[in-house]
Amino acid sequence: MLVTGIAQAGLPHQANGSLLTTDGTPVASRLIGQNFALPKRNPSDAQEPLRPDPKWFQPRPSAGGYDPMNSGASNLGPNNTDLIRTVRIRRAAVAAFDGVPPASVPADAVTASGSGLDPAISPAYAYEQVDRVAKARHLAPAEVKALVAHHVQGRVLGFLGQRSVNVVELNHALASLM
């Protein structure tokens, strides 16, 4: 109870899950990535693969489908032939989806994070998606690019980690544009 009390007093937003709200209703957590996919053609088919929705910025792949109860990586090493094949397939799919050359697809677009829940993507991957999202939403690419630029987060303490874009927050802001 002491730890809970301190957390609620000092960091209430974080202690309560860093929730994003729309009209006062929680819609997502800033801490957990999620899929932004089209509805399934056959909702009762558990094997039907998700299809990314072109109107949304897409996250990096998740080994556990962004299910917090299934957090973890694939545990495949960089020389594993299954991982190499999967990365090639993902690279081709992302390139076709975003309308870019396969060589320009950033690594985080084709590889999952260690937890499989990471909501962050690289600025390069976010900017790669600008034209597709703008076209699908009938927005000016400059407006969407400015939204991405506004959501680029710097390194922790100015030197730890890499710059990133929280795709959940970015898509939440994108929804508020409409």
Average pLDDT of the chain is: 87
Cβ(17)–Cβ(31) below 8 Å: yes
With tokens 């007093």, the residue in question is 9
pLDDT digits (tens, 9 = 90+) for 49-71: 889 999 999 999 988 888 878 78
Q: CA 163 to CA 49: how far, in whole Å?
A: 31
| Mean pLDDT calculated for residue range 117-127 | 94
Query: Percentage of the chain with pLDDT > 70?
Result: 89
pLDDT digits (tens, 9 = 90+) for 83-107: 999 999 999 999 999 999 999 999 9
What are the φ/ψ torsions at residue 52 (nearest 5 degrees)? -65, 145
- pLDDT of 32: 85
- pLDDT of 117: 83
- pLDDT of residue 17 exceeding 70, the answer is no
- pLDDT of residue 125 exceeding 90, the answer is yes
pTM of the entire predicted model: 0.85
pLDDT band at 111 (very low <50, low <70, confident <90, very high): very high
- pLDDT of residue 6 exceeding 70, the answer is yes
| Mean pLDDT calculated for residue range 34-50 | 90
